[in-house]
Amino acid sequence: MFSDVGNASDEDLLRSLDQEWSDRPQELLTRTGHTVVSVFLGSIMVFGFLNNLVVLVLFCKFKTLRTPVNMLLLNISVSDMLVCVFGTTLSFASSLHAHWLYGRHGCMWYGFINSCFGECSVDVIFAVLCECGQSGQANLATWERCAATVRAATVQMLMSRHPQTHGYAT
C-alpha cells in the first residue's frame, strides 16, 4: 500500500486509508465485556467531571486558594474536565454500542481530544514541578509567569496537534 508513497497525492493516501477502515471491526469483546467497559467509563466520566467541578468551585469560592501555582493546578483540573466532557462521553457511548459512534471520525475525534488536553495537562504539570523546584516553595511564583506558562502550554499543544487536524499523523 505505501510502496509508492512518493508518487501518491495526499488525497490518494487518505482515500486508501478510508477504504481500509471498517465501522464494524472484528469483535474482540463480548456484549458483557462492552457493558463492563461502559460501567467503568461511565464512572470515570461522572466522578472525573464532578471532582474537577468541585476543584473549580472551591477555587472560585475561597480567595485564599487563588495563588499562581494553584492557577496552574486549576488549569490541569479544567483540562481533565474537558477530557471527561468531550472524550470520555464519546468513548462511553461507543462502548455501549460496541463500535465507534460516527465511525472513523468519532475514533479520530476521541484520539485528538485526549491527546490535546492530555498534553496540555502534562505540560502544566511540568511547569508546576519547575516552579516548585526553582523556588523551593510553591508560593514564590508570580501570576505573570504562571499565566505565561499556561499560554505557552496551550499554544504548544495547539501547534503540535495542527497536523492531526489536516489528516497527518505525528
Residue 88 identity: T
CATH code where residue 56 lies: 1.20.1070.10
Name the residue among 106, 103, 102, 97 with its Cα closest to residue 29. Answer: 97
| Of residues 39 and 114, more confidently modeled | 39
What's the pLDDT at 149? 74
Count of the separate structural domains present in the chain:
1
Residues of the chain by 3-state class (helix, strand, coil), percent to 5: 80, 0, 20
Residue 137 has pLDDT above 60, yes or no: no
d(CA 107, CA 30): 20
Residue 1 is assigned to a structural domain of this protein: no
Most confident of 23-27, 96-100, 140-144: 96-100
pLDDT band at 45 (very low <50, low <70, confident <90, very high): very high
Cell of 90: 464519546
Give residue-wise pLDDT tens across range 62-114: 999 888 778 878 888 888 898 889 888 888 988 888 888 888 788 888 888 88
Residue 42 is assigned to a structural domain of this protein: yes
Q: Which helix (H) or strand (E) holds 25?
A: none
Residue 147 is assigned to a structural domain of this protein: yes
Q: Record the pTM.
A: 0.67
- How high does pLDDT run on average in the chain? 76
Most confident of 6-10, 62-66, 108-112, 140-144: 62-66
d(CA 33, CA 73): 35
| Cβ proximity of 85 and 49 under 8 Å | yes
d(CA 110, CA 25): 17
Enclosing domain of residue 69? 31-165
What's the pLDDT at 136? 52
Q: Cα-atom radius of gyration of the chain, to the nearest Å?
A: 20
Residue 98 identity: A
Residue 136 is assigned to a structural domain of this protein: yes
What's the pLDDT at 31? 83
Residue 96 is assigned to a structural domain of this protein: yes
23-80-161 Cα angle (round to 5): 60
Q: Residues of 85-102 as b/e, b for ≥16 C-beta within 10 angstroms?
A: bbbbbbbbbbbeebbbbe
- For the chain, what percent of residues have pLDDT higher than 70? 70
Residue 133, classed as helix, strand or coil, is: helix
